[in-house]
Amino acid sequence: MSRELWKEMGLTQEEYTKIQEILEREPNEVELGMFATMWSEHCSYKTSKPVLRTFPTEGPRILQGPGENAGIVDIGDGQAAVFKIESHNHPSAIEPYQGAATGVGGIIRDIFTMGARPVAVLDSLRFGPLKSKKSRFLLDGVVAGIAGYGNCIGIPTIGGDIYFHPSYEDNCLVNVLCIGLIDQKDIAKGTAAGPGNPVMVVGARTGRDGIHGCTFASEELSEDSEERRPAVQVGDPFMEKLLLEACLELIKTGYVVGMQDMGAAGLTSSSCEMASRAGTGIEMDVAKVPRRETGMNPYEIMISESQERMLVVPKQGKEEEVKKIFAKWGLEAVVVGQVTDDGFMTIKEGEKVVARVPAKALTDMCPAYTSEAVEPEYIGPAQSYDLSTLPEMEDYSQTLLSLLGTCTIASKEWIFRQYDHMVGLNTIVQPGSDAAVLRIKGTNKALAATVDCNARYVYLNPYAGGKIAVAEAARNLVCSGALPLGLSDCLNFGNPGKPEIFWQFKEAARGMSEACLELETPVTGGNVSFHNETKGEAIYPTPVVGMVGLIKDLSHVTTMNFKKEGDIIILLGENKDELGGSTYISVIHGLEAGNAPEIDLKLEKLVQRSTLELIKEGFVTAAHDCAEGGLAVALAECCIAGNIGADVNLTDGIRGSSLLFGESQSRVIITVPKEKIDAALQRLKKLEVPYKVLGNVGGKALQIVGTGWKLRLDTAELEEKYREAIPCIMNS
């Protein structure tokens, strides 16, 4: 075997030697291709595994943790929510429309592979600032791609988060979360059990697209990446809609032993993972795989990443029934092989064996790497940057307007208006709120979901930032009236071979784990995306948290808009004099410095529990989390959403900038009707949660009065600034 070939495929000397040891011979080209794709970082998690193992993954609500196509949480009444988040960063950076579209398609398949009907999609997006033409091009293409796929397949895109920062200029992030609903009795797994059972390829035909997509995802972007465009797959949402309906119909028959979508590493990964999970082998003939191109060789067929395909293992003798269902939907279903008991992946072309590799060698035997972790040099100076001497802005009103007009904070309506967020008739809280809320038809329950990560905090202090990402996601769910159940994470980092990057990764994961434990939100799976670097510059470390919660009674659904004149505004939690990592110092002072906000998980939990208690007891008319832009922006958002003003007094002995725009954690704004205020305050005292009565809802302006200063703006003015920032840039 030439050194060039295995190197070209992205394998290391150590890995190549290990393959020789496993096989006790030289691998041929097909085998090498299978190892290279399965042992890529994207598929093997070889660098991240030791860290991922530290996440808490168990809890009373967890029906399926990491290791399957998606995680599953129990939502009562024999029902479950299936969800997972995945990245499609590099493809989107090269070809934004198809990159994002196939990102949506891929994660949707992960959900219906488990037998669940996908009911919602959320996206977490990161781009460079929109003043650059490239960022506008990427945003435009990514949003159109998500819309193009999601709208067509008919799964509502109900929410998400988006940040703009220079570190994502050439390496945008596109993370997609999909949620499905299932009756627990229908849960399907990705296992190829039962030797003798047939192995079937169903759905679209196989072509040469997306060859080496996962190895491409496991390297840094460079100027040459443009040439990788053919590694980006092309999506066909119509085909996937047919595949979705056919697969769900098939699962209802009870004929399915196991099923898995062909995502990264296509036929190779789906087959060996299914065999490995079941402890079986698979023998298949690539000549039987339906192709849409002529002259494809076994190597190409095995690693093609053509979209909208699934591998199905039905019970022996049910092949014709399977074919009938797929034919009804105009799709092919072809028997390509069978399950064996020898533990080997035996790949044939006709009668000729073209590859023979132990299934477990591909899935489990990739060498694990424990990278060195070293604190980056920027951390010390950044954290100790003295923010106490920053000059105070004279005009807080103008500052608030500037923040509301910052793309990261401003209304995302320009984006979500392009998404069909209503199809399915379940969306009861529109995008733009703390969390998206879906009713569950036929019950009095609802699901809430959110995606969150403030990467600036993670950059300044990965440990605290990791905790905050989890805490904020949970807080958003609680503000919607939901009990957080579990999370799926998408860990976007730079090159883990660099000790500084690996340190960020480890520290962020350590913070996340602690928060998961304290807030009782185990990790049910997710995805690691390394090598998010261009020309050696890494993105801000961005561990995105996708979290799902349960609203037990529809009457608990809570939104952020201020509702009624006279409602009393209460702040749960504590204001602190901290500006580190805030949007305020970034936008106004041009600083990315200071330490991340402090986070006390005990206080966080208390604030969340108290918020939820009050909601359940019927005290709360609106609830909103304080996040980017601090208390002032949170209050403005409540006013804008409710089209009503508020009168607020802030009397803490803290400088105005920190009080208004600081991003202290564990704070929630709620409103309580006047007639219930005494009882509500008594409840809060009993819960022993710190709180402050801030003022009341009413009028047509937001007025905040502090010691020696006053901020006053008409809600109409707030709204104009907030709503027009992004359209103004994108439509010009």
Could you give the residue numbers annotated as active site?
42, 88
x/- track of binding to another protein for residues 222-241 (CB under 8 A): --------------xxxx-x
Contact between 428 and another protein by CB under 8 A: the answer reads yes
Contact between 329 and another protein by CB under 8 A: the answer reads yes
Q: How far is the CB of 149 from another protein (least distance, A)?
A: 11
Rounded to the nearest angstrom, the gap between the alpha carbon of residue 559 and the centroid of all alpha carbons in its chain is 22
Nearest residue (CB) to another protein, 131 versus 441: 441
Contact between 556 and another protein by CB under 8 A: the answer reads no
Judged by CB under 8 A, the residue of 154, 317, 350, 566 near another protein is 154
Nearest residue (CB) to another protein, 63 versus 428: 428
**694 contacts 569 by C-beta, under 8 angstroms:** yes
Residue with tokens 């590694």: 231
**509 contacts 68 by C-beta, under 8 angstroms:** no
E-strand spans in 255-320?
256-261, 281-285, 309-314
Q: Supply 28's token pair.
A: 């041929």
What is the SS3 assignment for 429? strand
Contact between 23 and another protein by CB under 8 A: the answer reads no
User: Measured between alpha carbons, how far is 349 from 223 in angstroms, rounded to an integer?
Assistant: 38
Report the interhelical angle of 133-153 vs 237-253 (nearest 10°).
40
x/- track of binding to another protein for residues 258-287 (CB under 8 A): ------------------------------
| Neighbour-count burial of 245, counting CB atoms closer than 10 A to its CB (0-12 exposed, 13-18 middle, 19+ buried) | middle
DSSP for 110-170 reads HHHHTTPEEEEEEEEEEES-TTSHHHHHHHHHHHHHHHHHHHHHT--EEEEEEEE-GGGSS
Contact between 505 and another protein by CB under 8 A: the answer reads no
**92 contacts 172 by C-beta, under 8 angstroms:** yes
**122 contacts 176 by C-beta, under 8 angstroms:** yes
Among 624, 602, 583, 632, CA closest to 457: 583
Among 298, 302, 301, CA closest to 268: 302
Nearest residue (CB) to another protein, 422 versus 679: 422
- Please give the C-alpha separations between residue 445 and each of 335, 552, 681, 692, in angstroms, as whole numbers: 41, 5, 28, 31
Contact between 378 and another protein by CB under 8 A: the answer reads no
Q: How far is the CB of 421 from another protein (least distance, A)?
A: 6
What are residue 175's DSSP bridge partners? 87, 124
Contact between 552 and another protein by CB under 8 A: the answer reads no
**Residues 64, 470, 627, 603: what is their CA dihedral angle, to the nearest 10 degrees?**
120
Contact between 330 and another protein by CB under 8 A: the answer reads yes
Contact between 423 and another protein by CB under 8 A: the answer reads yes
Residue 524, φ and ψ in degrees, nearest 5: -105, 5
Judged by CB under 8 A, the residue of 12, 13, 227, 425 near another protein is 425
Q: How far is the CB of 241 from another protein (least distance, A)?
A: 6
Q: How far is the CB of 411 from another protein (least distance, A)?
A: 13
Judged by CB under 8 A, the residue of 25, 229, 441, 712 near another protein is 441
What are residue 120's DSSP bridge partners? 179
Site for another protein in 390-419 (CB under 8 A): 416-419
Nearest residue (CB) to another protein, 246 versus 694: 246
Nearest residue (CB) to another protein, 413 versus 714: 413
Q: Candidates 31-39, 149-157, 453-461, 611-619 — which segment interacts with another protein by CB under 8 A?
A: 149-157
Nearest residue (CB) to another protein, 439 versus 456: 439
Q: How far is the CB of 263 from another protein (least distance, A)?
A: 21
x/- track of binding to another protein for residues 108-147 (CB under 8 A): ------------------------------------x--x
Nearest residue (CB) to another protein, 56 versus 237: 237
**424 contacts 154 by C-beta, under 8 angstroms:** yes
> How big is the site for another protein, counted in residues (CB under 8 A)?
31
| Neighbour-count burial of 352, counting CB atoms closer than 10 A to its CB (0-12 exposed, 13-18 middle, 19+ buried) | exposed
Q: How far is the CB of 242 from another protein (least distance, A)?
A: 6
Nearest residue (CB) to another protein, 393 versus 429: 429
Q: How far is the CB of 429 from another protein (least distance, A)?
A: 10
* Residue 438, C-beta contacts closer than 8 angstroms, at least 6 positions apart: 119, 120, 158, 179, 424, 426, 427, 428, 446, 447, 448, 449
Q: How far is the CB of 423 from another protein (least distance, A)?
A: 6
Judged by CB under 8 A, the residue of 61, 88, 291, 439 near another protein is 439
Q: How far is the CB of 144 from another protein (least distance, A)?
A: 7
Binding site for another protein (CB under 8 A): 144, 147-148, 151-154, 236-239, 241-242, 329-330, 416-425, 427-428, 430, 439, 441, 554
